[in-house]
Structure 1
Amino acid sequence: MLVLAFDTATPAVTAALHDGERVLAESTTIDARRHGELLVPTIERVLSEAGAALRDVTAIVAGSGPGPYTGLRVGLMTAQGLATTLGVPAYGICTLDAVAYGSGLSESFLVATDARRKEVFWARYADLRTRLDGPFVDRPSEVPVEGLPVVGAGADLYRDIFGPSSSGPGDVPPYPYAGALASLAAERLAGGTPLDPPRPIYLRRPDAVAPGAPKRVTA
């Protein structure tokens, strides 16, 4: 098994390679505006660091969101293109699941990421592997925290609303780093857990809209 995983649903452009037992290489750049420019060089970097070739990859995994439309589709289209070229399966894993898995938490908690428009994408978990509810998109004040720890970049961004419980353990990563995504995918594949196809989780319409018909100008 050689799993290539990457995510572009958040400002983190991240990729990792996993051999079924451990992460061989991982690379992440935080840049919300250059997903398209950074993803392929990031993939090439982790392959080089691991001493592997793209033809050696046996599965492609992409974070499926939720996330902004433009960034999210970069990763999913790349996953589909690579899978077709290599003749290997492509899968999608909820980006919030990767944040949860990377948290290492064994008790109930929430994951929240920045959804822009003063909103967060969030989901509730029983532990790092088990999502109970979500994903949803809401204003931070509408998220039913109920005293649970909240982790992720959204928790940091709206700490004043989520309260002191939003901090969680100090070493919880704010983004869905690909090492966690690859490890979760490898674990599910080895255990025979079905994985979803690489389809986007948008939760709302894209910000960009097609222009309407020009208005009539009268004298």
Structure 2
Amino acid sequence: MLVLAFDTATAAITVALYEWSPGERVRRRGSVENIDRRRHTELLTPSIAEVMAEAGAAPGDLSAIAVGVGPGPYTGLRVGLVTARAMGEALRIPVHGVCTLDVIAWASRRTEPFAVATDARRKEVYWARYETARQRSDGPSVTPPAEVPDDLPVIGEGVALYPDVLGRPDHEPEPLLPSAGALAELVVARLSGAPGPELLPPEPLYLRRPDAREPGPRKKVTPR
């Protein structure tokens, strides 16, 4: 079983291809990581092609697609979800969505309570509370950084952006961004029956209205 995973909900355009057979370990076949807040559209498709070429795989070899559903800025998030849905429909394979905060939490492998915070722009963060790396207990929410509970260690890019508020003494905030490798491993674990975060439909997890909106009707000009 080949699982193609990618996430574009943050500054990371991350793509990975993992192979899994029941009863065997998950094996990475290829991966690409780019950090760019503005070029999700330009970078995602070439990254997918690069990963597939690295693995010597064709689209028809894929068994499933895993995609991060956010929360995240509207434009970048939409790129990944539109691509995932289009590929799933064209190849007739399932597409599994995962909360991007869950992906970061999963990669941390933490066993004690903590929070994940990522950049929500507008001087806010997307954040959620976790009991362990596999269990979210609250959120996701979007608030100013000061509203993230101060009794928890915090990981994720939010700490790097607001260290005076979210930083904790003697605590490393890694990982800062999601990785497609962790996303693929999470989905494979859930498909094999292991406990973990809920798999979601490939729909955007928006916590507020997008910045870009449809223009309204033109106002009539009344002659004087």
- Normalising by the smaller structure, the TM-score range is over 0.9
Deviations 1:122-142 (A, max 9, x none): 001111111111100000011
Other-structure match for 2:97: 92
Count of residues in correspondence between the two structures: 216
Counterpart of 1:131 in structure 2 is 136
Corresponding residue for residue 169 of structure 1: 172
Q: Map of 1:21-100 to 2, 5 A cutoff?
A: 21-100=26-105
Partner secondary structure for residue 92 of structure 1: strand
Check the 8 A contact 1:151/1:174 in 2, yes or no. Answer: yes
What is the CA distance between 1:23 and its match in structure 2?
A: 2.0
1: CA distance between counterparts of 2:145 and 2:223? 46
| 1:115 to partner: Cα distance | 0.2
Give, in whole Å, the separation in 1 of the partners of 2:167 and 2:102. 22
1:13 equivalenced with 2:13 (yes/no): yes
Of 207, 210, 220, the match for 1:206: 210
| In 1: Cα distance, 2:106 partner to 2:145 partner | 22
Letter in 2 for 1:3: V
Alpha carbons 1:62, 1:76 under 8 Å: kept: yes
Shift of 1:196: 1.5
TM-score normalised to structure 2 length: 0.91
Which moves more between the two structures, 137-146 or 185-194?
185-194
Instruction: Say whether the 8 Å CA contact 1:14–1:29 is kept in structure 2.
Output: yes
The one-letter amino acid of 1:154's match is: G
SS of residue paired to 1:164: coil
What are the Cα deviations for residues 68-116 of structure 1, in whole angstroms up to 9, with x where unaligned?
Answer: 1111111011111000111100110000011111112121110000000
Contact 1:124 1:133 (C-alpha < 8 Å) held by counterparts: yes
SS in 1 for 2:120: strand
Shift of 1:214: 3.4
The answer to whether the 8 A contact 2:158-2:166 is kept is no
Separation (CA, whole Å) in 1 of partners of 2:148 and 2:206: 18
Residues of 2 paired with 1:215 and 1:164: CA distance? 56
Q: Is the 8 A contact 2:154 2:168 kept in 1?
A: no
Q: Deviations over 1:123-173 (max 9, x none)?
A: 011111111111000000112232x110000111111012325x7436x22
| Residue identity in the other structure for 2:134 | R
Give the C-alpha shift of residue 192 in structure 1: 6.7
Alpha-carbon separation, structure 2, partners of 1:182 and 1:63: 10
Q: Which aligned segments of 4 or more residues in structure 1 are displaced greater than 2 angstroms? A: 167-170, 192-195, 209-219
- Shift in Å, 1:217: 6.5
Q: Deviations over 1:167-219 (max 9, x none)?
A: 7436x221111011111111111117762210110100001123332363665
- Cα deviation for residue 10 of structure 1 reads 0.4
TM-score between the two structures when normalised by the length of structure 1: 0.93
Q: Secondary structure at the match of 2:77?
A: helix
**Structure 1 unaligned blocks of 5 or more:** none
Deviation per CA, 1:53-78: give whole Å up to 9, x if none: 11111001110000011111110111
SS in 2 for 1:116: coil
Amino acid at match of 2:106: Y
